């Protein structure tokens, strides 16, 4: 149904957005989903966030976001697994 309305790649994006929303609302093993592990967790991204940045958490696996924009490796693993399980038909 989604493919007929939006097209294959738009449906893939919609599924990914739904998975991401589930991560943010249900937390699925994360203790922090509103701010990132690095810096203030709200505005810093890319070069301003690294393992040596002031305020970087010691355990990023409990966070959904690494910085103000990018998911952590743990969150990416969950997103990828959900996409493989439910969205594979959209990319094959």
Give per-residue pLDDT as tens, 9-56.
Answer: 777 777 777 877 877 777 678 888 888 888 766 666 666 777 777 778
In a domain, 34, yes or no: yes
List of long-range contacts for 35-38, beta carbons under 8 Å, 24+ apart: 35/63, 35/65, 35/68, 36/63, 36/65, 36/66, 36/67, 36/68, 36/69, 36/70, 37/63, 37/65, 37/66, 37/67, 37/72, 38/66, 38/67
Rank 20-24, 38-42, 79-83, 85-89 by mean pLDDT and report only the highest: 79-83
In a domain, 6, yes or no: no
Encoded tokens for 66: 């690494």
In a domain, 62, yes or no: yes
Asked whether residue 90 carries a pLDDT value surpassing 60, the answer given is: no
Encoded tokens for 11: 């449906």
In a domain, 15, yes or no: no
When divided into structural domains, the chain yields a total of: 1
Domain extent for 36:
21-91
Encoded tokens for 35: 């701010």
Higher pLDDT: 26 or 83? It is 83
Separation CA 39–CA 65 (nearest Å) = 11
Higher pLDDT: 42 or 82? It is 82
Report whether 76 contacts 84 (CB < 8 A). Answer: no
What is the mean pLDDT of the segment spanning 45-74?
A: 81
């Amino acid at each position: 149904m989604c493919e007929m309305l939006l097209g294959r790649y738009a449906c893939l994006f919609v599924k990914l957005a739904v998975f991401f929303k589930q991560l943010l609302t249900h937390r699925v093993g994360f203790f922090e989903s509103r701010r990132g592990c690095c810096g203030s967790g709200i505005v810093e991204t890319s070069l301003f966030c690294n393992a040596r940045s002031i305020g970087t958490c010691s355990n990023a696996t409990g966070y959904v976001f690494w910085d103000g924009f990018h998911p952590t490796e743990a969150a990416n693993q969950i997103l990828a697994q959900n996409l493989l399980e439910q969205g594979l038909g959209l990319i094959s």
